[in-house]
């Protein structure tokens, strides 16, 4: 068969499929075309990168860290084991990030806010009014189109010169003179990365664990949740503008591929049972469980719940955070709001694994006790940490030092230059 015959046959098949499925209530509107850029070394499994900053994990904190590093002039690579950026915000479907405001004013801005704002505006959505103090904390979470958000994050990475490697993860990490050699693997790809600084944004501090630095993990963790939507009438594309349902998956654990597989199988099996039982249509299902808790680092300092609820302003604060203490258990969650006027902060030392050099973390693995972490883990705070880690790693790479030895005034100045609000100066 010639290729043009093949194309015609394929078109006929697609058209038949369209008419066939339309009758059953599902229509493919049209097929359009786009061509991916040719990868020059596609047949070659061995790939090498020499970068200033390697970000492992392109989730809520990771893509912000990478965009910041790229914009500040660092040669930057993100290695992300999934197929898109955004992590729990997009792949987990928790596309209602918060909280960017506290007590009537914005306290977290910068790159995360820029992305959230742009994706809401592009989607014709509405931004909350931060001058109004809501009755319930969740009223100022920002409902965002998860699909647009992921694509905008890719666009901003490209504009900042950040290279992205999806479907890959580190296998070994070795110390070198200027920093690290990180050997990553993906299907059909072995990538050797030489970098000066690592930003670990894997959620559970996986690189920190590989290097043998101490981490904290509770005997019983908060449940994960699978996000989905059941309905009566199938409305493709509409469901994500409504609030999704959440199924608690108790025991959900993102520690490794086996525990994560178990959480996904358990969650999906239960949703299938509900579809059968309730005789409703499955209108929306995220591709994986959203995980609330796994490992946290033991950092150069540890944020306690008292630090958090008292709104302690640390000497080396690099970001604000704001959310109730929000621990989910087998019986549900009873958020404990912060007292009026209190706004917690996050110190740089809580992002540095104790005793380490040339590695920094950002995201829910921040060094904190369990109750403090239940508030710190939310997305605006993770984005704030990501931007600060991007700044600290870039300045350390440029100066040939480690993030903890970069003068704080330089970190604060660069953060402000890139639109972030710095505690004590807002």
Ligand X SMILES: Cc1cc2nc3c(=O)[nH]c(=O)nc-3n(C[C@H](O)[C@H](O)[C@H](O)COP(=O)(O)OP(=O)(O)OC[C@H]3O[C@@H](n4cnc5c(N)ncnc54)[C@H](O)[C@@H]3O)c2cc1C
Positions that interact with ligand X (CB under 6 A): 56-62, 79-82, 87-89, 92, 94, 96-98, 141, 169, 201-203, 206, 224-225, 246, 290-292, 363-364, 377-379, 382
Choose between 117 and 398: whose C-beta lies nearer to ligand X.
Answer: 117
Beta-carbon contacts of 229 under 8 Å, excluding residues fewer than 6 positions away, are 239, 242, 244, 245, 282, 283, 284, 285
Choose between 82 and 270: whose C-beta lies nearer to ligand X.
Answer: 82
**Smallest gap from residue 111 Cβ to ligand X (A):** 13
Choose between 88 and 345: whose C-beta lies nearer to ligand X.
Answer: 88
**Smallest gap from residue 340 Cβ to ligand X (A):** 21
Spatial contact of 68 and 390, defined as CB atoms under 8 Å apart? yes
Choose between 80 and 101: whose C-beta lies nearer to ligand X.
Answer: 80
**Smallest gap from residue 248 Cβ to ligand X (A):** 9
Token pair for 100 = 């960017």
Choose between 63 and 418: whose C-beta lies nearer to ligand X.
Answer: 63
**Smallest gap from residue 291 Cβ to ligand X (A):** 6
**Smallest gap from residue 378 Cβ to ligand X (A):** 3
**Smallest gap from residue 284 Cβ to ligand X (A):** 14
Choose between 139 and 310: whose C-beta lies nearer to ligand X.
Answer: 139
**Smallest gap from residue 40 Cβ to ligand X (A):** 24
Choose between 383 and 404: whose C-beta lies nearer to ligand X.
Answer: 383
Spatial contact of 284 and 226, defined as CB atoms under 8 Å apart? no
Choose between 98 and 347: whose C-beta lies nearer to ligand X.
Answer: 98
**Smallest gap from residue 423 Cβ to ligand X (A):** 19
Choose between 18 and 333: whose C-beta lies nearer to ligand X.
Answer: 333
Residue nearest to ligand X (CB): 59
**Smallest gap from residue 334 Cβ to ligand X (A):** 15
Choose between 71 and 137: whose C-beta lies nearer to ligand X.
Answer: 137
Q: What is the 3-state secondary structure (H, E, C) of the chain?
A: CCHHHHHHHHHHHHHHHHHHHHHCCCCCCCCCCCCCCCCCCCCCCEEEEEEEEEEECCCCCHHHHHHHHHHCCCCEEEEECCCCCCHHHCCCCCCCCCCCEECCEECCCHHHHHHHHHHHHHCCCCCCCCCCCCCCHHHHCCCCCHHHHHHHHHHHHHHCCCEEEECEEEEEEEECCCCEEEEEEECCEEEEEEEEEEEECCCCCHHHHHCCCCEECCCCCCCEEEEEEEECCCCCCCHHHCCCEEEEECCCCCCCHHHHHHHHHHHHHHHHHHHHHHCCEEEEECCCCECCCCCEECECCCECHHHHHCCCCCCCEEEECCCCECCEECCEECCECCCCCCCCEEEHHHHCECCCCCEEECCCCCCECHHHHHHHCCHHHHHHHHHHHHHHHHHHHHHCCCHHHCCHHHHHHHHHHCCCCCCCCC
Spatial contact of 157 and 67, defined as CB atoms under 8 Å apart? yes
**Smallest gap from residue 20 Cβ to ligand X (A):** 36
């Amino acid at each position: 068969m010639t290729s043009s015959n093949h194309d015609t046959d394929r078109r006929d098949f697609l058209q038949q499929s369209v008419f066939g499925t339309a009758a059953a209530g599902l229509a493919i509107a049209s097929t359009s075309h786009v061509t991916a850029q040719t990868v020059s070394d596609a047949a070659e499994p061995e790939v090498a990168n020499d970068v200033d900053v390697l970000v492992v994990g392109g989730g809520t904190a990771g893509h912000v860290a990478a965009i910041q590093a790229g914009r500040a002039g660092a040669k930057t690579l993100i290695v992300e084991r999934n197929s898109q950026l955004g992590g729990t915000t997009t792949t987990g479907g928790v596309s209602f990030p918060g909280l960017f405001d506290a007590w009537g004013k914005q306290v977290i801005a910068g790159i995360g806010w820029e992305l959230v704002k742009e994706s809401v505006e592009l989607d014709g959505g509405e931004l909350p009014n931060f001058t109004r103090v809501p009755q319930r904390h969740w009223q100022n979470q920002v409902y965002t189109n998860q699909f647009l958000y992921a694509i905008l994050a890719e666009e901003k990475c490209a504009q900042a010169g950040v290279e992205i490697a999806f479907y890959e993860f580190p296998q070994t990490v070795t110390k070198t003179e200027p920093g690290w050699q990180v050997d990553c693997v993906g299907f059909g790809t072995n990538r050797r990365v030489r970098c000066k600084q690592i930003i670990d944004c894997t959620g559970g501090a996986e690189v920190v664990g590989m290097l043998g630095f101490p981490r904290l993990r509770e005997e019983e963790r908060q449940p994960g949740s699978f996000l989905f939507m059941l309905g009566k009438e199938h409305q493709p594309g509409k469901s994500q503008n409504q609030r999704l349902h959440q199924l608690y998956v108790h025991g959900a654990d993102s520690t490794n591929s086996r525990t994560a597989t178990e959480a996904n199988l358990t969650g999906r099996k239960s949703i299938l049972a509900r579809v059968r039982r309730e005789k409703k249509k499955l209108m929306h299902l995220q591709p994986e469980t959203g995980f609330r808790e796994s490992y946290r680092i033991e950092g150069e300092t540890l944020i306690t719940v008292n630090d958090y609820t008292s709104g302690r302003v640390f000497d080396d604060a690099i970001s604000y955070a704001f959310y109730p203490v929000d621990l989910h258990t087998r019986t549900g969650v009873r958020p404990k709001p912060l007292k009026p006027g209190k706004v917690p902060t996050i110190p740089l030392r809580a992002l540095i694994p104790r005793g380490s050099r040339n590695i920094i973390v950002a995201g829910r693995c921040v060094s904190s006790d369990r109750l403090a972490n239940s508030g710190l883990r939310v997305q605006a705070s993770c984005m704030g940490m990501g931007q600060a880690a991007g700044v600290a790693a870039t300045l350390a790479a440029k100066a040939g030092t480690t993030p903890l030895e970069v003068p704080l005034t330089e970190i604060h100045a660069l953060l402000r230059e890139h639109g972030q609000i710095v505690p004590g100066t807002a």
